[in-house]
């Protein structure tokens, strides 16, 4: 359950602000402040981000933490996952899914936080991804086979990197590696970062330093123009090989028990 209402009220009073003063700072109506503090409405994404930045918090802290006299913020030196995320919305104020093609991936490292840059990216929407913040990335290479090069990964924005789960796949944006799609080999560690693993075992796993990571997106779906091929019918040769392998396994088990 969101703690936005109680947090907004506590923070405003803690900073000795009236509802009107806070409304003037945020450039909204005083009545809206009252509605937010009484849980009759919730601020939209852009306003929530503006409020979080004003108080020096992450959006996750503002929405989910219980902020009171006992609350202690994460030290900024360790809060490496606090990022300003730029988004675009459609005419109904719903977030778009922006597409980052391979040819735009280098520019994305410099423009990911620039609203003007993000606004120029191709964008689309999908009905199954109407809640949350999503972005699509075109991948290149064979490190994640059987997913072919040119596939588009749709990822959900990960605000708290400690929510990253090993064994799952993510799009990682980092200063040195750029845009990569990998499986996580170890949970996020403040002192080491992330261990990235390729599904194609030809490629060795490697670590990306926490300080080099810019964004993390959890893979939710993919789009590919290459359709899966049917499994070939078994041949006499393949069945014979399979039976020989099974017999060899059975013999080794029997020998081991003797």
Query: How confident is the prediction along the chain (258 residues), in pLDDT tens digits per residue?
Result: 578 999 999 999 988 899 999 999 999 999 999 999 999 998 998 999 999 888 888 888 888 888 988 876 654 434 444 456 788 988 888 899 999 999 998 899 888 878 889 999 999 999 999 888 999 999 999 999 999 999 999 999 998 888 899 999 999 999 889 999 999 998 788 778 899 999 998 999 999 998 899 999 999 999 998 887 776 677 777 677 777 777 777 777 666 555
Q: Kindly report the CA angle at 153 between 151 and 157, in degrees rounded to 5? A: 165
Burial of 185 (0-12, 13-18, 19+ CB in 10 A): middle
Query: Which domains, and CATH codes, for the chain?
Result: 4-64 (1.10.260.40), 97-223 (2.10.109.10)
pTM of the shown model = 0.60
The answer to whether the CB of 182 falls within 8 A of the CB of 198 is yes
The 10 Å CB-count burial string (b at 16+, else e) for 96-135 is: bbbbbeeebbeebbebbeeeebbeebebeeeeebeeebbb
């Amino acid at each position: 359950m969101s703690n936005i209402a109680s947090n907004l009220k506590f923070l405003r009073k803690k900073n000795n602000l009236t509802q009107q003063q806070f409304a003037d700072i945020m450039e909204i109506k005083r009545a809206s402040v009252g509605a937010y503090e009484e849980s009759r409405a919730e601020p939209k994404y852009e306003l929530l981000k503006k409020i979080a930045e004003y108080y020096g918090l992450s959006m996750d802290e503002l929405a989910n933490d219980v902020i009171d006299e006992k609350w202690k913020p994460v030290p900024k030196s360790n809060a490496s996952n606090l990022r300003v995320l730029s988004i675009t919305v459609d005419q109904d104020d719903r977030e778009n899914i922006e597409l980052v093609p391979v040819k735009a991936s280098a520019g994305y490292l410099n423009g990911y936080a620039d609203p003007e840059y993000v606004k120029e990216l191709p964008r689309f929407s999908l009905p199954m991804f109407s809640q949350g913040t999503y972005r699509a990335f075109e991948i290149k290479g064979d490190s994640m086979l059987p997913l072919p090069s040119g596939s588009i990964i749709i990822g959900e924005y990960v605000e708290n990197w400690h929510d990253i789960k090993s064994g799952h796949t993510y799009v990682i944006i980092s200063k040195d590696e750029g845009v990569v799609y990998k499986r996580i080999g170890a949970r996020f560690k403040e002192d080491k970062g992330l261990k990235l693993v390729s599904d194609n075992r030809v490629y060795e796993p490697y670590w990306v330093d926490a300080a080099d990571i810019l964004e993390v997106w959890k893979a939710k779906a993919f789009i590919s123009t290459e359709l899966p091929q049917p499994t070939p019918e078994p041949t006499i040769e393949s069945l014979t090989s399979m039976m020989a392998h099974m017999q060899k396994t059975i013999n080794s088990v029997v020998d081991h028990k003797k």
